[in-house]
Amino acid sequence: MLAARGHAVVLVGRRVAQLDEVRASLTEPTRHLVMPADVADSGLANEAVDRTMEAYGRIDALILAAGTAPRAPIEQTTESILEEAFFTNAFGKAFFITRAWPVFKRQKSGRVVVVSTLGTLDPFPGFFAYAASKAAADSFVRSIRAEGRSIGVKGFAVNPGCVETAMLRRNFPENVIPREKALPPEAIAEVIVSCACGERDGENGKVIPVYSP
């Protein structure tokens, strides 16, 4: 959707084959970059921002959609589950935001869109770590609004209900959450793109809920 609007896109993630497949599907594939990285690694996150600047000289929007959803009851929540949830869902986003912030200050512009969840307000049982780590992401956009106001930087949290993804199905089979009760990924993408492209600036600093059918 971003490429269709004329944006150059930098695709960052762990699965190189999937990133390459996405890039190949875009208009003018050579305009876009693939950067293999685990966002939970601060060095790789910083490198992704730096390489983007080397390639394009600016960053108009960060879309921070990487996520993980380990599920365990509170009494079975281990240190490794907490680390997995917080490093990907919270720290990974923070690494990108803090690295890109000086760029945004120089530009006096920029938008940050984090993908969160309705579960920050009403988590499913077993999402003790997941919901809390996403709640941190919600808080990031409030800080972006407060500190970005003077330099033209805006932040948005897009908080969907259940979305039909592989991550959803790892935790909930269709007899628990039927397919018709889950949102298509495209519905979330439309909200994300509208935030990234300046069409929802009135919701700067806010959580934007997207409810399941």
Per residue in 56-110, pLDDT (tens digit) is 999 999 999 999 999 999 999 999 999 999 999 999 999 999 999 999 999 999 9
Cβ neighbours around 66 below 10 Å, total:
19
Q: Give 142-162 pLDDT, tens digit per residue.
A: 999 999 999 999 999 999 988
Please give the pLDDT value at position 104. 98
Tokens describing residue 115:
């993908």
Cβ neighbours around 179 below 10 Å, total:
11
What is the distance between the alpha carbons of residues 121 and 157, in angstroms, rounded to a whole number?
Answer: 13
pLDDT at 208 over 90: yes
What is the distance between the alpha carbons of residues 33 and 28, in angstroms, rounded to a whole number?
Answer: 11
Please give the pLDDT value at position 168. 74
User: CA dihedral defined by 38, 44, 48, 49, rounded to 10 degrees?
Assistant: 120
Please give the pLDDT value at position 213. 77
Contacts of 18 (CB under 8 A, 6+ apart): none
pLDDT at 204 over 80: yes
Please give the pLDDT value at position 212. 82
Neighbour-count burial for 91-128, b at 16+ CB within 10 Å, e otherwise: bbbbbbbebbbebbbebebbbbbbbbbbbbeebbebbb
| pTM more than 0.75 | yes
CB 192 within 8 A of CB 9: no
Q: Give 24-69 pLDDT, tens digit per residue.
A: 999 899 999 999 999 999 999 999 999 999 999 999 999 999 999 9
Please give the pLDDT value at position 173. 85
Please state which CATH number belongs to domain 60-210.
Answer: 3.40.50.720
What is the distance between the alpha carbons of residues 93 and 95, in angstroms, rounded to a whole number?
Answer: 5
User: In 77-165, where does DSSP find H-type helix?
Assistant: 79-86, 92-107, 128-148
